[in-house]
Structure 1
């Protein structure tokens, strides 16, 4: 079984690297986060009574 030439390893590396980069870019721009419906009712704070 003959070994692969270094040029073939370089082209394989570039193809897989470009595929990974393109997949990351497409995944980043196609994902849309869900916006919360109402932010005022979600966070209710109660005052703290510190008793030292």
Structure 2
């Protein structure tokens, strides 16, 4: 039915807004990169410099 097409796009737009909002909220509260930045530096300092 063509009458339902505006409602279909409205539902898709609402779904898009909800998923975008959830994505932004999760990225704001969960920050994995700040926790991972220190570990490679610690591992890099443990390596010995080998000379031939």
Q: TM-score, normalised by structure 2?
A: 0.62
- Give the number of equivalent residue pairs: 45
* Uncovered stretches (5+) of structure 1, i.e. residues with no partner: none
| Structure with the greater alpha carbon radius of gyration | 1
Q: Please give the alpha-carbon distance, in whole angstroms, between the structure 2 residues aligned to 1:9 and 1:28.
A: 29
Q: Please give the alpha-carbon distance, in whole angstroms, between the structure 1 residues aligned to 2:4 and 2:35.
A: 51
Q: Give the corresponding residue for 1:49.
A: 51
Structure with the higher helix share, 1 or 2: 2
Q: Give the corresponding residue for 1:5.
A: 4
Shift of 1:48: 2.0
Q: Give the corresponding residue for 1:26.
A: 25
* Uncovered stretches (5+) of structure 2, i.e. residues with no partner: none
